[in-house]
């Protein structure tokens, strides 16, 4: 978190001790990165928690549904705006591992290498000819 720079809006919410504003910022962060892969949610959470800890409600030993669906994930995320608990955050993260795995920037080829796959110029030319043929067929059918 050492390089984390809070937005002006987050800083303003912290200064005003605006609990609802902080929860809304965290909710927006959740929906921006549902995989939690950028670390932004945790950075905001830790920053706010250090300065305005009262926005977090005590864990209540809540029992969560066993379903792992986008609909339930969204329902749980929305519920954070009313009652922000760390047990809900943990459940969202657990569900996100299954629903929203982090994107990787490299490919894993069958030989185990991570080199980007190469597409031959012939394959590109054949693909272009097929697309042009489809366009001509559609135009001729009009």
Residue spans per domain, the chain: 8-99
Quote the tokens at residue 41.
Answer: 């949610």
Residue listed under structure tokens 């519920």? 79
pLDDT score of 117:
47
Greatest pairwise CA separation for the chain in angstroms: 67
Task: Report CA 95 to chain centroid distance, whole Å.
Answer: 12
pLDDT tens for residues 37-85? Answer: 999 999 999 999 999 999 999 999 999 999 999 999 999 999 999 999 9
> How far is residue 29's CA from residue 5's CA, in Å, rounded to a whole number?
14
pLDDT tens for residues 80-137? Answer: 999 999 999 999 999 999 999 876 655 454 555 544 445 556 656 656 666 676 777 7
What is the 3-state secondary structure of 97-136? HHHCCCCCCCCCCCCCCCCCCCCCHHHHHHHHHHHHHHHH
């Amino acid at each position: 978190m050492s390089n984390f720079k809070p937005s002006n809006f987050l800083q303003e919410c912290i200064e005003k001790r605006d609990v609802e504003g902080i929860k809304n910022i965290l909710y927006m962060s959740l929906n921006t990165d549902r995989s939690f892969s950028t670390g932004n949610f945790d950075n905001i959470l830790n920053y706010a928690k250090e300065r305005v800890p009262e926005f977090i409600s005590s864990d209540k030993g809540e029992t969560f549904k066993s379903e792992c669906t986008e609909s339930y994930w969204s329902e749980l995320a929305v519920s954070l705006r009313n009652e922000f608990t760390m047990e809900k955050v943990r459940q969202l993260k657990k569900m996100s591992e299954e629903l929203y795995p982090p994107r990787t920037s490299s490919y894993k080829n069958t030989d185990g290498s991570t080199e980007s796959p190469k597409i031959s110029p012939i394959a590109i030319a054949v693909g272009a000819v097929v697309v042009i043929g489809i366009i001509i067929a559609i135009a001729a059918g009009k």
